[in-house]
Structure 1
């Protein structure tokens, strides 16, 4: 009788282990979709430091972002720099168009105080400076910003990458993108082994399958405004043979919506909204 009671107790314990351990193991785990999403720091970790400065890129690196996004424009004397707006008014203590400044002039501007006095004296960095510091350490998502204003900018970017042997297939984590799709095509011709992406604003909210196929002829990514991303769009982009990185996330709830939609990457001012996991990089 006692042996029978112990046998029943043993079977009950086994049963509980089989059916409750997985449930406990699931607590605190992150959905597989979220773990697979690429974490792109928009203009660096620009929610924490002044955008497109070395401080922002370093913060993104410290936060283990998969990529830093860099806006590339060109100075009056043909030097590549990182800045988003076509004027320096918003993010520096100067005024005027980027293309009207020489490199020496533009680097005399304070690009940090507007964000916080802690960053007073931050300079607008050169593209080469960023590449040399972070290549091989973190991926580079390079945006050709308003390339129509800077004839030859695609060649200059290609030269920087080629001189550093970053143009070879699978050599570095580099992606080039632009809202100017003709510029993307020119860049792809110069750097056929580097993945390229087309950026899509709200004017592409009704993108057709035919248009996606046209993009896929020269682009590897379709990177749209997050406001028109849903699961159906993600599926159509994937069917076209491209991946999809959505921009720009500034709230956790928006990141969560994109996780559910199944995007491949999220471009965000706050890398902590796209959690980093072992094996993600």
Structure 2
């Protein structure tokens, strides 16, 4: 697989097929080839005999159907984009391991979207969560039903952390490739934990909001100088980050958020904002690593 390839993982579902078509549109916009991967499902260990039997049946079905799934995805992509370079791969490796390995040289990993629940994050995880928290390139959880690049903006959440800087860099890069507007969203809230504020009516809320605006625009201006062709809008919202990003996602084609790194609990790694978006976003969600990575 050439470097900077857009990679999409499929499992034969309709959602994965749509993800492949969307990934092809992004690959075309980025001038990159597309690599479609089908790998074995990932299961937990220490399974009961019944669960192990179900696992074996599922894996047998997936193995027997792999070439059919790959051919269907390839044909759908080529029907949309006959000039795009498309390769396929059937792997016996668990899907999360296969995609994490591919991320070492890929430009982007795309996954067909299934809901990510809190139980999945805390107990077993899911393919989306495992890949998003360990991949070495940005990972997109496909959401919605749009399979082509539109003229709608990309929304990015900015919080000033190292992960936030990496998110902003990635968002600018893809906004330039897709030739769309970028909306940088920073949120803050007038709520404070009990005990933090003893005389709340003495707080200069206007000054705090001005400080949030200054922090956002200063950070965005650094990247605007590197990507002068990208039209950027800065937005400061007085609400939680998750609510703020979901509010703007309704009019966007992609939301970009950050991962904090690696941790045993994927929910803690991604944070509540990213988990909320993976569960509720109506459009694809891109998770990217910290700038240092």
TM-score with structure 1 length normalisation? Answer: 0.24
Structure number with greater Rg is 1
User: If each structure's helix is expressed as a fraction of its own residues, which one has the higher value?
Assistant: 2
